[in-house]
Structures are given as structure tokens and as C-alpha cells.
Structure 1
């Protein structure tokens, strides 16, 4: 339930009470001002009824409205129904969703400050290969707000809000990149750290994360605070999880002029923007009912929403085509797992060895204009009579002749370690 305080010209008491009843309001309180020119009403309405109720109230002359954006527990007879009345938690009205997004914009100083700090933290995490610092950067990075507001703008068809949100998005990402570049300039890097190598690699499932992030972020905004099982901060981390690491990596990649790292990170950032935007827009439009004509006072453009959504869908399609037509440049993270499985199956066919561990990794170094895939394994002989060097040569020869996969644009190297027993 939401509490509204209305100030309406005298003479409309019955009309207001009828509207409250029509929109399922409860526990209405009516007060008359001392000047007798206005009446004051304290109204308690179900969340989803607020927007349409206020549209109906607009028929009165210059109504003054105060909306309390907090959950209210409204109890009314019979007392035996109280548990059901408390448990009836609805999503926010489209008006509150839209105004809440506008209100969360914040100051430019905060946007610059948090973005710069996030860039510093993520760079330190990447430089020292400290993964928990990446999580800290996700907490600080102010990416969720602009992402959600851009989706709200598309759902509502409001071009000014869309331009403002995208500009704030660009400022936040650009500031993080500058912070990372300046730190790399102050503490020069000549090679990527292991964590940088890992973060720079893109999975073929990369689109799923922004879709899930956009869905979760929009659901969190639409739901009433008493109905939300996940905190807003946690959802903000989910949105920033796919953005903060590549933002920090671009700064280091620009300094080292490692264009493979830069392009793969830019790919991830653009994909996150499109995926989050599409999923969140659909949630706001169909679940939150934020539409060009669905919010009181809002006169959005359906054409704006349709064109923006079309651009996003085409953008996602183009990026998916680019990702799957350029193996293994933008699929290294998932190819590691696939090739590791192929390596394991081939080694299992050799019955005179025991495999202790195996791994397949990609580097950003190329040979013959192909990305290098390193196949490594540590083995021990079941038959101790076989010399280590002979065993190693046999396994290398076996893998080179028998290991097959569907990728033809990689350069294979092998490393076999034989343990003594």
C-alpha cells in the first residue's frame, strides 16, 4: 500500500471518496482546512492503483499531491483478514517506477568520483591478481543507475532521458578507463598479469550475463521494498560485474597497445550495454507498465521506444555474428573448457598412464596470425619400466596425431610433464 496526501478544492469530497472506493483505497481520512477553500485527504491505495488514481484526480482544479514512496501496512475490518492484508504486496506503480529512476540520477561529482575510484580499485585488483578487489570495484562502480534509466527511457519513449542516461554511462565508463590508464602510466606494465589474461577472454555465453543482469535490475526497481528478496546493492553488483573488469582492462591495454585486449574488452562493454538495456526495457514495459502513455503526465513517443529497441536488437545480432565468425578471438573463455574436455578424452584412451591434471589455455600471443592454445598435462606412468623421456615423446606424438576438434584457426602447442613414481 502507498500513502497519498491530497489537497483538493472544497466541494469534491464525495467525488474523491468515490474514486478512492473505485481504486480499492482503504482507511481514508478527510480534513478541512481552516480557510474552507480546500480539503485534505489521507488516502491509502494498492501500489499498482496509484498511477491511474492520480490520472483520475487530475480532473480536479490544481490538485496538490504528496506521494510517500514507502510501504504502508493498512489494516481494516475484519480483523481476521489482517494476515492476508499484510501479505498482499504488489509491484510499484508505473509512476513511482519512473519517478524513482529520475530521482536516482545523482550528482555529476558523485558519478565522476565513484567511477574514478572504481577504476583505481579494479586496476589494483588486475595488477596484483587479487580477485576480491574486482568485487570491491563492482560495489563502487556507478554503472547500474545509467543502465536502468536508459531502459526506462526506452520503455517510456523519452528521448531526453535516454540521451542523458547514455551520456552518464559514457562518462562513468570513460572515467574508469582514464583512471586505469593513468595508473598504468605511473606503474608501467610490460605484460599482462594472469588475472588480466583471464578477464580479457570472452565466453560464447557472454550475452547471458547482461540479459540476466538487466532482468534482475529491472525487477528490483519494479518490486515493492517489502517484496524484494534481494537488496538493490546486490543487484547493482550484478550489473557492474560485467562492466568493471573490462573497463579497467582497457586502460592497461591502451598503454601496452595490446589491441586484442582493448577490442575484446570494448566488445564486452557494448554487449553488456545492449543486453542489459533490452532485458530491462522489456521488464519495465510489460511488468512495470512503464509505457509512453502509461505514466501520469508522461507524453512519450512510441516511435522513440521502437527505434531504440530495434537498434539494440540489431546491435546484439551484429555482435553475435562478429563473435561467432571470428574464432577464437571472442570465444576463448568457453573454448578453454571445450578443448580441455577434448584433451581429457584423448588422454583417457591411453591405458598405460594416469592423468594427474590437464589444462588448456589461450594467450594473447599469436603465431602465424593464429591464437596460441597451450595443451598441457601432468601424467605418471602405470608401468615404471617405461623411461620418462620415451613416455613423454609417445604422448606428444599421440596427441598431435589423434587430438581433433572443430576449430581450425588456432595454433596448438603441447607441454607434457611426467612425474616420477
Structure 2
């Protein structure tokens, strides 16, 4: 429930009370004076916007809305548990205004972006994974992401342009920060964590879609109905953006264009996925539509056009991802190749597999990315020499490890251990 204070010119008491009853208001308090009718009203969350539309029939209503959950108890007392458990989503007006109110200052946006860029760079430079998580806590990417989706759902061009500008500024601040730090502490080569973060999976689209969905749901639900904190959802949104933003700066310094392009690909894909998923949630669940908010007159054409652009953009990037193997699918290919390696090693009945691993290196041979196949085996036949065993295993793998992508250069590292 939401608490509202309504003040209208004298003479509308009965109409106000009828409207309160129509929209399921409870525990209404009449504070009217000789000149004005004043009411303290408690309404279900999702009824607030429609009730305020009804108030527009009266002359210049003055409204105070407290955006906090209120528990209303009314007879019969035996139904109190059911009354408290009746938690509804926020009204579309509160969702929209809350998003705008959370924009914050430009100084804070740049400051947090720089701070996140520093933390990400230190984490990548020192190969410290938990610092990447810390950067996700600080990165201010969730706000502009949700506001851009709100702008699309409501069809408001000015809010969309403003949100995209804040997006760009936050990203640019992080990239510049990473680049400057790499100038101060020069890198000769990428760290193992940088290489790992730069690899893109074929299921990379799922993370931004889930992030956008979760972020929008968190904003639409009332605070007593939300099972996940806003900070946790913000981390989820930043998880898909903060590491590649920091990696672009280091890649630019090293002029490693594969790292730069793969990171930019991830950033754009994340933005489009978050935007489209959040827009659909705001539109269909939060009822944030061009005509669905009391005071808002948005453009439905803008909403449709922007959504189509986001959808087509995702489709184009997915086509690029799967038509350029293995450039943008290295993370998932590591897993697939490891499974293939394990399968073909098990075909050899004269060894026991102790360990196996497959990973892409940061070097190219003959213009092709290099994949390192590693395996440690224990021979069952102690007579055969290590060199002969290694040659037999490598030959078997070369003959049978026919992966679907021929644009990779395979190298083998077979270790033999003895009991």
C-alpha cells in the first residue's frame, strides 16, 4: 500500500471518497478545512496511477506520495495476515519517477566510473578475481541502463538521449582510466586474467538478458515483495560491463585489436540485451507505456522503433559472432574442445587420464589463433618409452580430433607420469 495526501478545492469531498472506494483505498482520513478538502489516503501500489488520473477531473489537485510500503489493517481483525500479504507491484508512475529520481549527479557518475575503472585495472593487472567483483559493486552502470529502458518503454526521447549520454560517459571514463593506468604502469603483454576475460562465449547473450530482466523486476516490485536487494541486482548488471570496459583501455595501449574488438563486442551486446529485456518487463509487467502514466505523453512510434533497433542489433551481433569463428566464441570453445579431447583420449586403452585441459593462447600462428591441448597421462604398459607414448597420443589426436572449426592452429602438450 502507498500513502497519499490529497488537497483539492472545497466541494469535492463526495467525489474523492467515491474514487477512493473505486480504487480499493483503505483507512481514509478526512482533514478538510473551510477552504480545502484534504485527505490522507492509502491505496494499493498498482492503483495509484489510475487514481491520480481520476483526480485530474478536479481543479489543480495537490498530491504528496510517500514511495514506501505501508501496512494497513482494517476489520475484520482475523483477516490481518491476508491484508498484509497482499503485496502488489508499484504503479507505473512511481516506477517512472523513481527511475528518474535515481539518476544522481554527473560528478558521482564520473567519480564512480573512474573508481570502478581503477579497481578493474588493478584486478586485471594483478590477476585478482575478487577485485573484479569489487568493481562491479562500484560501477554505476545499472542506473543509466534501467533509465534507457524506461525511456524506450514510455516513448520519451529526451530521457533516452540523456540515459545514452550517461551510458557513454560512464563507459568512456572507465576506458580512459584503464588506459592511463596502463601508461603509468606499462604492460608488455596481457595477464592470464585479461586473456580469460577477453574470451567471449556463444551464450554471452544470456547474461545481459537475465541482467535486464532482474533489474527491471527489482524496480517494478515493491520493497516488501522484493527477494533480492537492489545492490545485488546492480552487481548483476555491472558484471557484464565492468570487466570488458577496463580491458579496452589495456588493449588499446598494447594495440591488441582482437582484445579491443572482443571487449567492445561484449559491451555493445550487453547494452542491447539489457535494454531490450528491461524494456519488455517495464512495458508488460510495470505498465510503463507511452499513454500509461498520468502526466506522460510519450511516443509509441519511438518505443516501437527503439525496440526494433535493439532487436535487430542483437540479431546482427549474434550473426557476426557465429560467422567469425573462433574469434568471438573462445570461452565456450574451450569447454567444447576439452570435452572432445577427453573423448578421444579415452579411446586409448593403454593410458589412464590424469588431467586434461584446452585453452586459447594470446598468440597466432599463420594468422590463426592457437589452441593448446594439454594432457597428463599414466601409461598402463611400462615397457613403452615416454617419447613413443607421446608421439602415439599426438598422432591419434591429430587424426581424430576433427573439430568443426578449421580456422585454429592446434598444439599439443602431453605429459607422461610414472608410478
**TM-score between the two structures when normalised by the length of structure 2:** 0.99
Q: Secondary structure at the match of 2:190?
A: coil
1:366 to 364, 367, 371: 364
Alignment of 1:279-318 (within 5 A): 279-318=277-316
- Alpha-carbon distance in structure 2 between the residues aligned to 1:103 and 1:363: 46
Corresponding residue of 1:86: 84
Alignment of 1:191-230 (within 5 A): 191-230=189-228
Q: Secondary structure at the match of 1:363?
A: strand
- Alpha-carbon distance in structure 1 between the residues aligned to 2:334 and 2:220: 38
2:255 to 246, 254, 257: 257
Corresponding residue of 1:8: 8
- Whether 2:385 is the aligned partner of 1:387: answer yes
Corresponding residue of 1:321: 319
Corresponding residue of 1:148: 146
- Alpha-carbon distance in structure 1 between the residues aligned to 2:378 and 2:172: 51
Contact 1:260 1:364 in 2 (8 A): no
Corresponding residue of 1:182: 180
Q: CA deviation at 1:364?
A: 2.8
- Alpha-carbon distance in structure 1 between the residues aligned to 2:35 and 2:60: 12
Corresponding residue of 1:70: 68
> Could you tell which deviates more after superposition, 376-385 or 102-111?
376-385
Contact 1:211 1:276 in 2 (8 A): yes
Q: List per-residue Cα deviations over 1:27-81 (Å, max 9, x = no partner).
A: 0000123xx2111100000000000000000111111000000000000000011
Give the length in aligned residue pairs.
419
- Alpha-carbon distance in structure 2 between the residues aligned to 1:366 and 1:310: 38
Corresponding residue of 1:416: 414
Q: List per-residue Cα deviations over 1:170-206 (Å, max 9, x = no partner).
A: 0001000011001100000011111001000000000
- Alpha-carbon distance in structure 2 between the residues aligned to 1:170 and 1:364: 29
Q: Secondary structure at the match of 1:32?
A: coil
Q: Which runs of 5+ in 1 are unaligned?
A: none
- Alpha-carbon distance in structure 2 between the residues aligned to 1:5 and 1:298: 21
Q: CA deviation at 1:134?
A: 0.2
- Alpha-carbon distance in structure 1 between the residues aligned to 2:44 and 2:331: 47
Q: CA deviation at 1:400?
A: 1.3
- Alpha-carbon distance in structure 2 between the residues aligned to 1:334 and 1:279: 23
- Alpha-carbon distance in structure 2 between the residues aligned to 1:138 and 1:403: 39
Q: List per-residue Cα deviations over 1:103-144 (Å, max 9, x = no partner).
A: 000000000000000000000000111000000000000000
Q: CA deviation at 1:420?
A: 2.3
